[in-house]
Chains A and B, each alone.
Chain A
């Protein structure tokens, strides 16, 4: 398969912090329309990996190609332009707590689609909120919402610019099992509706089983194992086994 058919291609990625080398030649390929989960222990470098993809961190070595563009060759304006095509759901949701739900969703719209009218803005905001079943919260502040609602609003904000790729950083961490299942189902529904490609960073096996087409096990800074959930679950490798126990 050629590079242009991959939504994201990572080759030989290295990233360290002082003497702590987190990624040591990591490789990944995300095909278009695919949901790929990256599983690993806490501190294994999963979040570092997606922060390198979105440009929040600079890799020490290696190549990251997103939608056919090598991010190392992009200047700031080009990177900002590319970021519009990538949604990022933060583990902490990262909702702007001084803004209402409506303002949170309007913010990326007004930054990138400057010609958009107030009516179009309102329609898009309401469409995004209806997608996550929270249209009634439009005028509330983030602090007035529950954890699950905040996660849904963050997802709505991630989707409002209609990204081609979504990066999920621990989307179900801190949520109860029922809400986690709802969020996982919502991720699936939205992926089908907008035909996005996704990388899901998680250690929640239920979420991964529900959402991922394929998964990569990140161990000691490399892609230790790769395959479908059931294939890896059936593995007898002593390194892989503990993740499925």
Chain B
């Protein structure tokens, strides 16, 4: 049986990404450990993404509150606004929006950087100088995205909740302590933990796809652009797929 070309290409790519991921897990536990490069990547990927994540989180909290208020007034439950906003941000909007922003900024940057290194033979140069480029470039970046995204999600959630607090106070007056009491009283373990755990998977997927696309870049500068672009597209798609799976898993585990 002959497979249609697109199906064949999709399966080949899925197989190649699986192999790449398998290599990551083989290399990650083998010495030598690239601590300095890992810390540098955490700084570049985590710290340098904070302003963008913070700003988008703040706007998201503010806008979400302003959009929700009229509907809640119609139903006569305006007082539930902090609780609703809090749950929406912590459970879903915070992790997913932060991950999408992260995929756009970091996924494309990794894809372009490694792609450029690939086509200008910098990765080969690293290898001939006796350095394992997979370990030095890929493992450090994937670990950094995996561990930095959950931290960014927590910080983004906090900034977003503050934006929502300002949004609540645009047309009403709610004290800081009352607002946060309402938010946290309505949040449970089952709201916070699954959202936090899934952001590790978001970070891993964004990192591994960005690295895969960059590491397998070809055809000169055109290929670099394509690597960056497809790293964002596939990374964002993976965020939604993981989110869908996470909802199913938390439902099965009774955490919803």
Q: B120 near A92 (CB under 8 angstroms)?
A: yes
CB of A112 closer than 8 Å to a CB of B: yes
CB of B254 closer than 8 Å to a CB of A: no
- Contact partners of B129 in chain A: CB under 8 A: 83, 107-108, 111-112, 161
CB of B11 closer than 8 Å to a CB of A: no
Q: B130 near A112 (CB under 8 angstroms)?
A: yes
Q: B122 near A56 (CB under 8 angstroms)?
A: no
CB of B128 closer than 8 Å to a CB of A: yes
- Contact partners of B124 in chain A: CB under 8 A: 51, 56, 90, 94
- Contact partners of A88 in chain B: CB under 8 A: 125, 128
Bound CA span A108–B128, Å: 10
> Which A residues, 73 to 118, have Cβ-Cβ distances below 8 Å to chain B?
76, 80-81, 83-84, 86, 88, 90-92, 94-98, 107-108, 111-112
Q: B130 near A94 (CB under 8 angstroms)?
A: no
Bound CA span A88–B129, Å: 8
- Contact partners of A94 in chain B: CB under 8 A: 120-122, 124-125
Q: Which of B116, B125, B131 contacts A90 (CB 8 A)?
A: B125
Question: Within the complex, what minimum Cβ distance (angstroms) separates B140 from chain A?
Answer: 14
Q: Which of B122, B125, B128, B130 contacts A81 (CB 8 A)?
A: B130
- Contact partners of B230 in chain A: CB under 8 A: none
Question: Within the complex, what minimum Cβ distance (angstroms) separates A244 from chain B?
Answer: 30
Interface size class of B (residues with CB under 8 A): 10 to 19
CB of B13 closer than 8 Å to a CB of A: no
Bound CA span A134–B124, Å: 24
Contacts A92-B120, A92-B121 given: A76-B128 contact, CB under 8 Å?
no
Q: Which of B113, B120, B128, B130 contacts A56 (CB 8 A)?
A: B128
Bound CA span A76–B135, Å: 13
Q: Which of A55, A86, A90, A112 contacts B121 (CB 8 A)?
A: A90
CB of B132 closer than 8 Å to a CB of A: yes
CB of A54 closer than 8 Å to a CB of B: yes
Q: Mark B103-136, 1 if CB is under 8 A from A, else 0.
A: 0000000000100110011101111111110000
Question: Within the complex, what minimum Cβ distance (angstroms) separates B10 from chain A?
Answer: 22
Give the residue name and chain of the A residue nearest to B120 (CB).
Answer: A92
Q: B128 near A83 (CB under 8 angstroms)?
A: yes
Q: Mark A40-71, 1 if CB is under 8 A from B, else 0.
A: 00000000000100111000000000000000
Q: A111 near B121 (CB under 8 angstroms)?
A: no
- Contact partners of A92 in chain B: CB under 8 A: 120-121
Q: A86 near B131 (CB under 8 angstroms)?
A: no
Give the residue name and chain of the A residue nearest to B119 (CB).
Answer: A92
Chain B interface residues toward A at CB < 8 A = 113, 116-117, 120-122, 124-132
Q: What are 20 pairs between A and B in contact, CB < 8 Å?
A: A55-B127, A56-B124, A76-B132, A81-B130, A83-B128, A88-B125, A90-B121, A90-B124, A94-B121, A94-B124, A96-B117, A96-B122, A96-B125, A98-B113, A107-B129, A107-B131, A111-B129, A111-B131, A112-B130, A161-B129
Given contacts A54-B128, A56-B128, A81-B130, 18 further A-B contacts (CB under 8 A): A51-B124, A55-B128, A80-B130, A83-B128, A88-B128, A91-B121, A92-B120, A92-B121, A94-B121, A94-B124, A96-B117, A96-B125, A108-B129, A108-B130, A108-B131, A111-B130, A112-B129, A112-B130
